[in-house]
Chains A and B, each alone.
Chain A
Amino acid sequence: MSEWFFRDNPLLAWPLAGLGIFVAAFLMVILYVTVVLRRDRELERMAALPLDDGATGAAEEGVVRT
């Protein structure tokens, strides 16, 4: 099928193959994060990790020596 379709310029199959790979991989990732990871509590902890380093200021971040 594809041989006939691309007989005038077989290299044009490359961008379409790339498109196909990406679309399939993108759908897989979307499905993975929405289905497999939907109950993953670790994600909530990770989402808040920047806030978990002490506090917002250097003085509150831990022991501050100057």
Chain B
Amino acid sequence: MQATTPVTKRVVYDDEVVRAFSLATIIWGAVGLLVGVLVATQLSFWQANLGLSWTSYGRLRPLHTNAVIFAFVGNMMFAGVYYSTQRLLKARLASDLLSWIHFWGWQAVIVGAAITYPLGLSQGKEYAELIWPLDLLVVLVWVAFGVNFFWTLARRNERNLYVAVWFYISTIITIAVLYIVNNLQLPTSLTHSYSIFTGVQDALVQWWYGHNAVAFFLTTPILGIMYYFLPKAAARPVYSYRLSIVHFWSLIFIYIWAGPHHLLYTALPDWAQTMGMIFSVMLWAPSWGGMLNGLLTLRGAWDKLRTDPVIKFYIVAVTFYGMSTFEGPLLSIKSVSALGHYTDWIIGHVHGGALGWNGFMAFGMLYWLVPRLWSTQLKSVRLAELHFWIATFGILLYVVSMWISGVSQGLFWRALDAEGFLKYPDFIEGLLASRFMYQMRLIGGLAYFAGALLMVGNLWATIRGGRKSTVEIEVQGYAHDGPGFWALMRGAPVLYSLAVIALSLVLFFSGALGSAIALAGFGVLAIAGALSIGMEKSRRSWHDLIEGHSLAFTVLVLVAILVGGLVEIVPLVVAKKDVPAQVAHADSVWAAKGEYVFVQMPYSPLEVEGRDIYVREGCYVCHSQMVRPFRHETLRYGEYSRATEFIYDTPFQWGSKRTGPDLHREGGKYANIWHYLHMIDPRSTSPGSNMPSYPHLKTHRVDLGATAGKMRVLRKLGVPYDEAQIAGASATARDQGGLIVADLATQGVTLAPDSELAALIAYLQRLGRGPQPVAPAPAAVAAREVAR
């Protein structure tokens, strides 16, 4: 047991770094939204790609998503965390140096992303596109943040940790785990690397990360901010602190399991999909508990809704949180996902969360915080009111247009005629039908952006009219009088939780006798629990004690998120066994080795390079590579995708959105000349397409000298290249490129065999053409192409 003597001391809060993060939020928010407007324009008017490689949609879309998530919401989160944590702990941030390393390091990451994405330097994994040197920088910055935060906890002058701080702890711990695991990679150069995971495993790890980036970067810290700033703005205590306890523990425990709902009806094992769906549906309970706790905090203060723009922003934000956390579980139900996945419905859902929940929370926080940080009044409340109404109009128009567009696309893709064939076999028809909604989306985005510009002007005028304030308070230190770490770890709730987990595992994984014993154990546990509650004589409850012990609290948070994380590692191992690289058949024409054959041929050197170009150009942001096992999908694209077909895919490129058609069975569907023309001018082969043109691929050359090095790294990851293949990579690539350009020459087209376009064509022609039998392109599609 530790003991300290209470003393009175003066604390000066470090609000300088809060001011810096607030300014960064304002600036990067405007930039992120501006890029969003640009990419929305590109979807409506392909000319907005400007004909430049570094302004094409595939490169700018990751810039938009990263700018909004990590630059706008990230900086807002750090401002809110640093401001509220100091006040909730009544302590100055532990280290000014670490605070500024955190601030400037994070801005360096953002600038790095803004430079590298337009250059096409990307890992090709959504929301994790940063190249490995920037990943390392993120880790260093996050460590600085974590050390500064936990050091501040250790120096606090408030006995218990408030619920907002719990959410901050869960954010710091979980993001560290997620980011490191998902970014495990082997570099091939300073700007390029391959993920150590492949195919199904990579998909699972990526969406374990991707989903929980939403959970622990865009949700938990913002909930913490809600639990601090909403009571401040309403001048009311939190509606129910008990409910916040249920909200916190159940939310962090469940969220981590739900990632596989991004992979429903894919080649992921069915049981993992079911697990993702079940936990996603369960998320309804804690999410709505939190939403209601936020809304009911305003009890007795609803009159402020008329006059205070801060309250207006918060109420709409919390309402959007409720709506998004209703829609998310709904979309995770397999039959709903079958309709909504890959459509604009998902885009509407994401923006409801990012702009409605995160954006409005950020605006509300800034309008509340900036006048206080600069010791003045908000320059114009009317302008803030106008911002609120314009932004509300914008986000509603955006979300509703994406809902209509998305549901229409889902119905359009699956529509069959009376004979059971595709009613709309041409994919482009659906895109053309969505064009009006894309324009509505653009107007909505423009309105939201215009509102943000009003805020920038208003806050700038506010800052200019104020002076930086320094807040100094007098606090009483506290004597730590609770039990030690191990005593808390032996507390009844921990022991009961362990018993419940053990009995559940016995119940589901044992025979009849074991199951009966487990059921009896649950009964004994319930009786023991009731008795122990009756005998509870302690002055302070166990949860009260754990709130006062930051290390014990942090360890319990880590355990809560690791349970779900570890259970998701199991499918990783199991899937690897289910997806062998070799099987016991000897009738393959490709790679018979004794009685075993490869189930999938490794990519040729030129295909490796072509795949890297596919990743670089961000093709995955508009094209999936996953034919789901539905009749309408196999009719449109060909045979459904199997896990074995992706064992050499690093990173996996299944995608999450179909602005264009699925490409997994693209190989052999069209002639080389079709691909050539399509990449130079997509409208020449697909009238009405909004795809950017890629003329630079014709003139840019592949660095074939680097191919052998890439293949060596791939061999370390399990791709069965032998030394001769690696040594001859450059020559082999030129030979394959030569075949493609010779074919093109018969059509009167001249192309270099080592051009990027030749490499990309080689890759596209390879897609979906492994040793396993592949159904030919659907007759209707083939006939249409012949007619063209």
Contacts and interface: CB of A to CB of B under 8 A. Distances in A.
B510 A2 contact: yes
Contact of A11 (B522, B541, B574): B574
A50 B500 contact: no
B469 A49 contact: no
B507 interface: yes
Interface size class of A (residues with CB under 8 A): 35 or more
A58 to B, nearest CB: 4
Interface in A6-38: 6, 9, 11-22, 24-26, 28-37
B469 A28 contact: no
B318 to A, nearest CB: 16
A53 B590 CA distance: 72
Contacts of A44: 237, 241
Interface of A: 1-3, 6, 9, 11-22, 24-26, 28-37, 40, 42-44, 46-51, 53-54, 56-59, 61-66
A15 to B, nearest CB: 4
Given A24-B500, A26-B285, A64-B470, A2 B242 contact: no
Contacts of A20: 504, 507-508
19 contacts: A2-B511, A14-B275, A17-B508, A21-B501, A24-B500, A24-B504, A25-B253, A31-B529, A33-B245, A36-B541, A43-B544, A46-B160, A47-B240, A50-B237, A53-B87, A54-B471, A58-B373, A66-B467, A66-B470
B257 A18 contact: yes
Given A3-B511, A46-B162, A26 B544 contact: no
Given A18-B279, A25-B497, A1 B271 contact: no
B162 A64 contact: no
B473 interface: yes
A59 B468 CA distance: 11
A42 B160 contact: yes
A44 B544 CA distance: 12
Contacts of B228: 50
A39 to B, nearest CB: 9
Interface core residue of A16, A33, A61 (most chain B CB under 10 Å): A33
Contact of A36 (B88, B375, B533): B533
B4 to A, nearest CB: 19
A13 B544 contact: no
B400 to A, nearest CB: 34
B200 interface: no
A61 B473 contact: yes
B242 A33 contact: yes
B693 to A, nearest CB: 46
B504 to A, nearest CB: 4
A58 B372 contact: yes
B384 to A, nearest CB: 17
B724 to A, nearest CB: 40
B282 A19 contact: yes
A49 to B, nearest CB: 5
Contacts of A47: 237-238, 240-241
B641 to A, nearest CB: 20
Nearest to B472: A63
Given A37-B242, A37-B245, A59-B375, A22 B529 contact: no
Contact of A32 (B254, B271, B500, B543): B543
Contacts of B419: none
Contacts of B235: 51, 56
B296 to A, nearest CB: 12
B664 interface: no
A37 B237 contact: no
A14 B570 contact: yes
B270 interface: yes
Nearest to A19: B278
Contact of B472 (A2, A24, A40, A65): A65
Contact of B372 (A18, A31, A57, A66): A57
Contacts of A9: 270-271
Interface string B465-492: 0011111111000000000000000000
The 7 closest A-B pairs by CB, nearest first: A15-B275, A62-B473, A48-B237, A17-B508, A11-B271, A53-B87, A47-B241
